[in-house]
Structure 1
Amino acid sequence: MEALKIGIMGTGRIASVLANTMLQMPQVVLMGAASRSLEKAEEFAARFSIERAYGSYEELAKDPDIQLIYIATPHSEHCSNAKLCLENGKHVLCEKAFAANYAQAKEMTDLAEEKNLMITEAMWVRYMPMAKTLKEVLNSGIIGEPMTLTANLCYLVSDKPRLVKPELAGGALLDVGVYTLNFASIVFGDEITDIQSSVIKTDSGVDAQNSITLCYPGGKMAILNSSLQVLSDRMGIIYGTKGYLVVENVNNFESIHVYNTDRELIETHIRPEQISGYEYQIEASGEAIRNGWTECPQMPHKATLDVMKVMDELRRQWGIRYPFEA
């Protein structure tokens, strides 16, 4: 099987993790890296032994040898960057949050389908073996009917300018809250009957921390919290009619502990060894491209769009609009 030729757009921290991961994957070739600064691109390329460095995103998108482009730019740039890639015949793996809003996300997936190219959101937990394990545990009925879940994801990152700038679509929701929303989506699906929320804003006007309550058919409920200002335990807990389970780290499921009605530990699942966890979304992208799919089954377009709709509604409730939104 011929190795998948990949380029990286953006050269920040996540791009570095992805680059290091790909170097350990024989089924892919990390061929190019692009930044708006040639110097940064060349430094990044040298660090990871990447053959080609580009001083503009256009050069990467137009390289005929590149098949898949991983987009690691700020949220505000995802839509224009993805369209540039798709217009030049490139498949796209785009960092979360997939776009700044639903309209942008729909534009991106529609264009991919029109061009018969694959585009998928790099919501890495969706692609991991532990996501499948979680579904299997829930489907086994060991905790009965899941009725309630809680999830939190909070980091001490308010000092990072990108995360508090409205013009870059900053805020806790798009950066870390999107993980809690995806956790709820994995467990309860995307048919939401009610959305309630509270927010604390930064001085710049984006959400510093938020609390979200989602209701689902059948009386199910998810309570989600995210923040840029504090450190949390990152736990996801699913409460059922016959017990409950605890997922350690909703940002990269490390373990699943299952408890019965006496709160006794009855089952444990530990995450398998991984390079970084990012390898699974790259493998899934390669599989989709080989099969001629425009999406990955692990992260279908509908799931991405449904989560984007929820985030749009939350920002509407909070009165947060990004400067570039019409």
Structure 2
Amino acid sequence: MSLRNGAHSGTVNVAILGAGRIAHHMADTLRRMNRDERYSSLIEPYAVATRNDQDRAEAFAREYGIRKAYGSYEALLADPEVDLVYIATPHALHADHAIACMMAGKNVLVEKSFTANVEQAQRVIDVSRQTHMLCAEAIWTRYMPSRKAITDIIESGRLGEIGHVYANLSYPVSDKPRMTDPEMAGGALLDLGVYPINFVMMAFPGASPVRTVTSCSFTDRGVDEQMAATMWLDNGVMATLDASMIAVGSRQGIIQGSEGYMVVQNINNPERILIYDNEHRLVDTINVPTQLTGYEYQVIDSAKALLDGKIECAAMPHDETLRIMGMMDNMRAAWGEVYPFEHSAE
């Protein structure tokens, strides 16, 4: 990537830190983008790094056509050709990995949940501002076209005065070791509950909770396995949301007004939006644009922001990341859920 007239130009070399499940999804996305004429000149699937397994890194790189494979994170950070690092490690490791990347001159796209708590998030963002490296949270729904479609419907007045919103994301994932590991900031909230929270705050971007009532149930290892919350927003809307890592849920987002309501099918990756009138008649169906995987939007925004010399993405700016992390901290505080490393930091 070259510097021209004070702004970056050229192709962004993207690297993946970690080689777990989410890393495979991103690698598949980068491969598809590289084969798509709309994106092939914007990004290059450049490198992947595992913590300490060169063979695994090389197998991963071969599978997805990635140019470089590194058997350690340190080796990846030493490569001067890496422009943007997608951090695909567990929540509890995000802060240290993001900071290490930025201190090495690498921009970062950090998988959600951005960090384990707001204190870690603030440290990461402080480093972004100090180093002038791009730092963006990879919560893909923030970058999708469906976001604007939802807010356009609300702002059009078709639903009348909005009174209530409901959002769910639940599916059984408690068999994954990190999900029940307190040391890795496991639990339903940071992995699943973060989506209903973001759904609500995206639907009403100017609003803030003035009161929250929340509860959860715990696993035998002390992390939340199911959670629910009711929030009263300062715009008069009441929001109800829930998440579970042991049950299958509807994944729906429902925004209810005085003249009708909309149902967003799958808030984690919206498929279509159904609009009903006040007699429960289906009056409109809005299909979401065809996408490669859905991950491409966050990569596009990050790459363009990087090329423009910005340190954050407009779709998920730093202050909004901090706000959402703070909301989740407050919920965990209400439950009495403290991760082991938070005890040691006191």
With structure 1 as the length reference, what TM-score do the two structures score?
0.98
CA-based RMSD: 1.0
Are residues 1:279 and 2:296 paired?
yes
The aligned residue for residue 45 of structure 1 is 61
Choose from 10, 16, 34 the match for 1:8.
16
**Alignment coverage as a number of residue pairs:** 326
Moved segments of 4+, more than 3 Å: none
Structure 2: where are the runs of 5+ without partners? 1-8, 34-39
Task: String of CA shifts for 1:170-214, please: whole Å, max 9, x gaps.
Answer: 000000000011001111235110111111000010000011111
The aligned residue for residue 181 of structure 2 is 165
Q: What are the residue-to-residue correspondences of 1:280-295 with 2, within 5 Å?
A: 280-295=297-312
Q: SS at the partner of 1:205?
A: coil
Task: String of CA shifts for 1:256-306, please: whole Å, max 9, x gaps.
Answer: 111111111112111111110000000000110111111111111111111
Q: Percent identity?
A: 44
The aligned residue for residue 215 of structure 1 is 232
Residues 31, 50 of structure 1: 8 Å contact kept: yes
Q: How far off its partner does 1:162 sit?
A: 0.7
- Between the aligned partners of 1:217 and 1:2, the Cα distance in structure 2 is 44
Choose from 187, 194, 198 the match for 1:182.
198
Bigger drift between 69-78 and 46-55 goes to 46-55
- Between the aligned partners of 2:26 and 2:183, the Cα distance in structure 1 is 25
Which letter maps to 1:211?
A: A
Q: What are the residue-to-residue correspondences of 1:1-326 with 2, within 5 Å?
A: 2-25=10-33, 26=40, 27-36=42-51, 37-189=53-205, 190-325=207-342, 326=345
Bigger drift between 137-146 and 70-79 goes to 137-146
- Between the aligned partners of 1:293 and 1:127, the Cα distance in structure 2 is 16
- Between the aligned partners of 1:237 and 1:297, the Cα distance in structure 2 is 25
Structure 1: where are the runs of 5+ without partners? none
- Between the aligned partners of 2:65 and 2:271, the Cα distance in structure 1 is 31
Task: String of CA shifts for 1:63-103, please: whole Å, max 9, x gaps.
Answer: 10000000000000000000000001111000000000001
Q: SS at the partner of 2:340?
A: coil
- Between the aligned partners of 2:306 and 2:125, the Cα distance in structure 1 is 15
- Between the aligned partners of 1:306 and 1:230, the Cα distance in structure 2 is 28
- Between the aligned partners of 1:286 and 1:146, the Cα distance in structure 2 is 36
- Between the aligned partners of 1:131 and 1:253, the Cα distance in structure 2 is 9
Task: String of CA shifts for 1:18-73, please: whole Å, max 9, x gaps.
Answer: 11111121121111100112222112112112121111112112210000000000
Q: SS at the partner of 2:142?
A: helix
Q: SS at the partner of 2:325?
A: helix
Q: SS at the partner of 2:299?
A: helix
Q: SS at the partner of 1:253?
A: coil
- Between the aligned partners of 1:323 and 1:43, the Cα distance in structure 2 is 34
With structure 2 as the length reference, what TM-score do the two structures score?
0.92
Residues 163, 172 of structure 1: 8 Å contact kept: yes
Which letter maps to 2:82?
A: I
- Between the aligned partners of 1:127 and 1:151, the Cα distance in structure 2 is 18
